Structures are given as C-alpha cells and as structure tokens.
Amino acid sequence: MRSTWGNNLQLTIFGESHGPAIGVVVDGLPIGLSVDEEAVARDMARRAPGQDPTATARREADRVRIVSGLYRGHTTGAPLCGLIENTNVRSGDYEAMQRLMRPGHADYAGYVKYRGMNDPRGGGHFSGRLTAPLVFAGALCRQALAARGIEVGAHIASIAGVEDAPMDPVGVDAQTLRALRDARFALLDPAREAAMRARVEEARLAGDSVGGSIEVAAVGVPAGLGAPFFDSLESTLAHLLFSIPAVKGVAFGDGFGLCAMRGSGANDAMRVQDGRVTCETNHNGGVTGGITNGMPVVCRVAVKPTPSIAQPQRTVDVSCMADAQIEIRGRHDPCIVPRAVPVVESAMLLALTDLLLEEETRG
C-alpha cells in the first residue's frame, strides 16, 4: 500500500481511523517558510468532527503536533511531520464489519485487495478521518501561496438539490474567498442555509444521508503553471480531489455544461487590460491546454451521500460467503459536504504548490 503523492512537493499520509494517531510527512516545502501555527489550527478546526448537527458526533480536537522539519517557527528543509492523535474512538461499533461488508464503502474492495488484513475499524486507512492530515498539509501550503499573492477558497455549492449562488468565474476575488474560510457553513448566499440544513435533518431522522457539491477557486494564480497531458493542472488537481473519500466527480469551469455549447460560446475571448492578457469569460475554469491562463482557477466537486446509514441494507457475510443484512451503528455524518469544504481547498493548495515549485525550479 502506497500513500504518497507529489513530484516537487511530496506527501505521505499514515494511520488509521481508530489507531493511536494519524499524520502526514511533507517533503519539499520551501526552506525558511514562516509557519503560523494558529492559522493552521483554524483550518484544522473547520474540518474537525463533532461541531455541527450535519456532522458525526465523534469529537476530536485535531491538534497537530509537529515533530520534525520546523525550528523556531520556520521550515528547515527537512521532511516536516505532523502527528494528530485519535482520542475518541469506539471500535466496538465496528465489530461486525470484520465480516459484514458495508454497501458503498471500501470494505469489500479493501478486503479483497489486502487479503483480509486491512483494519476495518472506522474504515481504517480508507476513512475520511485521513483527510485531517491533508488539511494540515494544505494549511502549510496556504501560507506559502499567500506570500506569492495566491488565495484559495471554497463554498458549499449544493446539498441535496438545494443550490448556493455560484461563484463569479471572472470576478471572484481574494476577499470573497477569505470570507468563506471564516464561515462555519460556507455559503455565498447565507439565505440558502436553512433549506440545506432541513434536507440534512430530514435524512438524519430517517436514518439516511445526503450528498452535494463543492465549488473551489484560486485567484492570483499566474499564467503558465502546469504542462500538457500527464502533468496538466487538471490532472494534478483531479488526482488529489479523487483521493478524497466520497468524491465522485470533478469539473473545471463550465464542465459538462460545455457539452451543450458551441465553440463560439465556449471560447473565452481575450484582451489586454492594464498591460496583461485577460479573458472576458472563464468557461474553461482558468486552464487551457492543461496550463493556467491567468484567470481564476475554478472547479466543482461532486460528493456522494455518506454510505454509513442506519437503515437495514442488503450485503454479504464474507466469513461464510452468504447473503446478509446490516444496520450500521456508530457515529456518522448525515452529510459530509460542509466538513469536506476545507479538504477540497487543501487539494487545490497542494496542487498549486507542487506546480509552482516545478516552475520555480525551472527558473
């Protein structure tokens, strides 16, 4: 099992949902980066469980202990390791998952691939708990990118069919993105919150769950990041986004909406403004030919409903290879979308940092 990503910035995540700790080793961060640990803690708190009715009741402080790579508040150039202790586990809730495979989860696929040796407690290494180390790594990259004038933010684009107002793909600005990061329930139109929460509560009371979507944007991104084909901005970011449990779709700019357009409408007309090239529209999400074109980088992510639900479901018992039924107990998010917002941001932060380091290395 390999859990390492990146070319110039490399991450290795480790741990299991109910193990002693989870964490990440980050290699390749800029040397001498000043790390604001309070800002890191704020990003971690946005993802932490147990703080909202839409989230699991499991409470974890998600405090990160940096055990290497930092000296007197600055990165040293050595691999930086962040450790997050698991303090509120109830492994007994997962006793039956040794043999009963949860529909919609990685239980069966992981059981086959790892010959039954995988840790089933809370999903083990497959758990969304492992997104906490990604948020920590993203928080470090946020500080490196901010020094270069790049800001990243995201919002809940939809929950259970209730839509938030979309971002302005041309005019979205750093102030808007920072304001979203300060909101507990990140919306561009706060008036949509009540309807979204009502859909989540309706599902929770029915022992069910709902999904939704997240829109993320980056501004201040220079033109020229990425490369055609295998190291495009889209493929680099999509690789990270699809590593987030429950993400089932990624679209840049107008995405699938481009399918119904003509080229005359889908093309982003260009002009010179204040000595720089800009586009009048941003249907392509700030990326053409796999390379950033100087417009805001905008993409949308589809998040499926949390598969752990309290309703009876048909499944299989692998201990005797027979059909079975399962009712999942334990503490689970009726909607994972709000807590996934900082995780999606982190994917954008990590991808941009990796590509920016590549460009700076090239000189």
Prediction pTM value: 0.93
d(CA 107, CA 126): 9
Separation CA 26–CA 143 (nearest Å): 14
Give the total number of structural domains in the chain.
1
Residue 107, amino acid: D
**DSSP letters for 222-265:** PTT-S-SGGG-HHHHHHHHHTTSTTEEEEEETTGGGGGGS-HHH
Mean of pLDDT values over 136-162: 97
H-helix or E-strand spanning residue 240: helix 233-241
91 pLDDT exceeds 60?
no
Domain that holds residue 220: 4-362
* Between 57 and 305, the higher pLDDT residue: 305
Query: Does 92 score more than 90 pLDDT?
Result: no
Q: Which two tokens stand for residue 271?
A: 């002009």
Residue 341 above 80 pLDDT? yes
Sorting pLDDT into bands at 50, 70 and 90, what band is 350?
Answer: very high
Most confidently modeled range among 15-24, 264-273, 329-338: 264-273
For residue 85, give the 3-state DSSP assignment.
strand
CATH number at residue 33: 3.60.150.10
Question: pLDDT at residue 58 above 60?
Answer: no
Label residue 96 left, alpha or beta by phi (over 0 means left) and psi (-120 to 50 means alpha).
Answer: alpha
Residue 363 pLDDT > 80: no
The whole-angstrom separation of Cα 47 and Cα 132 is 7
pLDDT for position 196: 97
